[in-house]
Protein backbone atom coordinates (compact mmCIF):
# COMPACT_ATOMS: atom_id res chain seq x y z
CA UNK A 1 0.00 0.00 0.00
CA UNK A 2 1.33 3.43 -0.94
CA UNK A 3 1.44 6.06 1.79
CA UNK A 4 1.14 9.76 1.01
CA UNK A 5 1.15 13.03 2.86
CA UNK A 6 -1.59 15.26 1.48
CA UNK A 7 -2.24 18.98 1.81
CA UNK A 8 -6.04 18.89 1.81
CA UNK A 9 -6.23 22.66 1.28
CA UNK A 10 -4.58 22.32 -2.15
CA UNK A 11 -4.93 18.63 -3.01
CA UNK A 12 -1.16 18.32 -3.42
CA UNK A 13 0.33 15.08 -2.19
CA UNK A 14 3.74 13.47 -1.96
CA UNK A 15 4.68 9.81 -1.78
CA UNK A 16 6.02 9.11 1.68
CA UNK A 17 7.56 5.68 1.15
CA UNK A 18 11.26 5.81 0.37
CA UNK A 19 12.73 4.16 -2.72
CA UNK A 20 15.57 2.17 -1.22
CA UNK A 21 17.38 2.15 -4.58
CA UNK A 22 17.81 5.93 -4.43
CA UNK A 23 20.98 6.48 -2.41
CA UNK A 24 20.44 10.26 -2.45
CA UNK A 25 17.22 10.07 -0.44
CA UNK A 26 17.49 10.66 3.31
CA UNK A 27 15.19 8.26 5.14
CA UNK A 28 13.75 7.66 8.57
CA UNK A 29 12.60 4.19 9.63
CA UNK A 30 9.91 2.86 11.90
CA UNK A 31 9.39 -0.89 12.13
CA UNK A 32 9.51 -2.23 8.57
CA UNK A 33 8.65 1.14 6.99
CA UNK A 34 11.12 3.55 5.40
CA UNK A 35 10.00 7.13 4.77
CA UNK A 36 11.47 10.12 2.94
CA UNK A 37 12.60 12.84 5.35
CA UNK A 38 12.00 15.51 2.67
CA UNK A 39 8.30 14.62 2.58
CA UNK A 40 8.04 15.02 6.36
CA UNK A 41 9.74 18.42 6.01
CA UNK A 42 7.13 19.39 3.41
CA UNK A 43 4.37 18.21 5.74
CA UNK A 44 5.81 20.11 8.71
CA UNK A 45 5.83 23.32 6.66
CA UNK A 46 2.17 22.79 5.76
CA UNK A 47 1.24 22.20 9.41
CA UNK A 48 3.19 25.24 10.59
CA UNK A 49 1.42 27.41 8.01
CA UNK A 50 -1.96 25.90 8.92
CA UNK A 51 -1.40 26.62 12.60
CA UNK A 52 -1.09 30.36 11.86
CA UNK A 53 -4.19 30.50 9.64
CA UNK A 54 -7.80 30.60 10.80
CA UNK A 55 -9.02 27.18 9.69
CA UNK A 56 -12.05 25.51 11.22
CA UNK A 57 -10.20 22.19 11.13
CA UNK A 58 -6.65 20.94 10.97
CA UNK A 59 -6.60 17.22 10.19
CA UNK A 60 -3.66 15.14 11.34
CA UNK A 61 -4.43 11.59 10.31
CA UNK A 62 -1.83 9.89 12.46
CA UNK A 63 0.40 10.70 15.38
CA UNK A 64 2.55 7.64 15.66
CA UNK A 65 5.87 6.24 16.83
CA UNK A 66 7.94 8.70 14.80
CA UNK A 67 6.20 11.72 16.30
CA UNK A 68 6.47 10.30 19.82
CA UNK A 69 10.22 9.89 19.18
CA UNK A 70 10.53 13.53 18.02
CA UNK A 71 10.74 12.61 14.32
CA UNK A 72 8.25 12.49 11.46
CA UNK A 73 5.90 15.47 11.71
CA UNK A 74 7.25 16.48 15.10
CA UNK A 75 7.77 19.26 16.28
CA UNK A 76 5.02 20.77 14.07
CA UNK A 77 2.39 18.49 15.63
CA UNK A 78 3.65 19.36 19.13
CA UNK A 79 3.44 23.08 18.35
CA UNK A 80 -0.13 22.78 17.08
CA UNK A 81 -1.23 20.86 20.16
CA UNK A 82 0.56 23.20 22.57
CA UNK A 83 -0.40 26.46 20.85
CA UNK A 84 -4.06 25.57 20.50
CA UNK A 85 -4.87 24.22 23.95
CA UNK A 86 -8.33 25.78 23.91
CA UNK A 87 -9.35 23.86 20.77
CA UNK A 88 -11.49 20.75 20.70
CA UNK A 89 -9.57 17.58 19.82
CA UNK A 90 -10.98 14.31 18.68
CA UNK A 91 -8.73 11.30 18.94
CA UNK A 92 -9.73 8.23 17.01
CA UNK A 93 -8.35 4.75 17.41
CA UNK A 94 -8.69 2.25 14.60
CA UNK A 95 -7.84 -1.41 14.54
Q: Write the CB contacts of 83 (distance below 8 Å, at least 6 apart in sequence).
A: 51
Q: Where are the domains of the chain?
A: 4-83
- pLDDT category of residue 62 using cuts at 50, 70 and 90: confident
pTM score of the predicted model:
0.82
d(CA 76, CA 64): 13
**In b/e form, how buried is each residue of 8-42, taking b as 16+ CB within 10 angstroms?**
eeeeeeeebebeeeeeeeeebeeeeeebbeebbeb
pLDDT digits over 18-53, tens only?
Answer: 887 777 789 998 888 899 999 999 999 999 988 888
Amino acid sequence: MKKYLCDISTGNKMLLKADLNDAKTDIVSVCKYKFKIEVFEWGKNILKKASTEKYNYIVIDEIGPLEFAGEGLSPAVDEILNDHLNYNYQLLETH
